[in-house]
């Protein structure tokens, strides 16, 4: 079995999937980009540029998916923080990486 392709962008992990869950609803995005990982501290949000051929979907449990028939750019609002990642056409799930906090002994989402 072939492993799915995964892309890392800061705390985002974008994994290629075969299909979007049937309960997902298409997201209407206002503006030039969709925030896929908000910055809790610096304002350096991770975004995917909106363009023709790029659609976003959200499930009832807030899992986000992207389906793109054209190359999609994943970038930061502060350009020098992370290199832009280009997603080839496909279907992807967008998630957040986790880290282990040894002080609290708990798994938590990576924060920016």
Q: Taking all residues of the chain, what is their mean pLDDT, rounded to a whole number?
A: 84
The Cα–Cα gap between 37 and 52 comes to 21
Inside any domain, residue 1: no
Indicate yes or no: pTM above 0.85. no
Per-residue confidence band for 10, with pLDDT thresholds at 50, 70 and 90: confident
| Domain that includes residue 80, residue range | 6-109
Per-residue confidence band for 105, with pLDDT thresholds at 50, 70 and 90: low
Total domains in the fold of the chain: 1
Chain centroid to CA 64: 7
Distance in angstroms (rounded) separating the CA atoms of residues 70 and 84: 16
Question: What are 56-103's pLDDT values in tens digits?
Answer: 999 999 999 999 999 999 998 877 767 889 999 999 999 976 555 657
Residue 88 resides in a domain? yes
């Amino acid at each position: 079995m072939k492993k799915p392709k995964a892309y890392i962008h800061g705390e985002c992990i974008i994994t290629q999937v075969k299909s979007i869950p049937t309960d997902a609803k298409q997201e209407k995005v206002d503006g030039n980009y969709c925030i896929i990982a908000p910055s809790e501290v610096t304002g350096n949000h991770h975004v995917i540029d909106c363009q023709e051929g790029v659609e976003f979907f959200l499930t009832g449990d807030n899992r986000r998916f992207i389906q793109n028939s054209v190359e999609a750019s994943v970038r930061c609002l502060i350009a020098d923080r992370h290199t832009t990642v280009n997603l080839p056409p496909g279907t992807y799930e967008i998630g957040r990486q986790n880290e282990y906090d040894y002080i609290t002994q708990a798994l938590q989402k990576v924060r920016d």
